[in-house]
Chains A and B, each alone.
Chain A
């Protein structure tokens, strides 16, 4: 069975400062991991994904995440926050094998102040 825990329900940063959104996962198989972003009244958009290749994954809008098997973590980072980054972020795990479900975390709300 797969599960994911997002360690912070709400993160607040100032514009131009680094962003860290934390995610731990549990999976019986080699997992595939994803980060999605959801802006208010908009659909879910994929930020980046890890599917057993490079452990440091770069995504859109300057975000990146590192897969650490020993820590069962997949934290999302960005060197410098922008006002437009304010949104809900979801860490998602799947069993890795095709056909297994994508399981969402509860989400982290990122607020960015000027």
Chain B
């Protein structure tokens, strides 16, 4: 069964850094663009970053640009989100998700999601 598992969340102080990981299994990871989507407590979904299957193209929402960096290591079937300069408003559950179609660009049609990892930013 295809699966995505996120890790790396936790409690961090404002201004601090965290690196999230997302590992995929039972599908050819390198063939698919991937995304990070977050959900603040009691709020809706917010797409924040995506990366093409090859890793050559990255995409960012304004809320993430300049502070967050997305990357992937296809040899490890893993995608990362390096989050720097964390703010209280970054507190959320962070989901990784896979694009539906095989392509080396992001479509945002997300057909497989992990269960998420919780990031709390607080002093």
User: Do the two shown chains form a genuine complex with each other?
Assistant: no
Q: Show the binding face of B for A, using Cβ within 8 Å.
A: none
Q: Show the binding face of A for B, using Cβ within 8 Å.
A: none
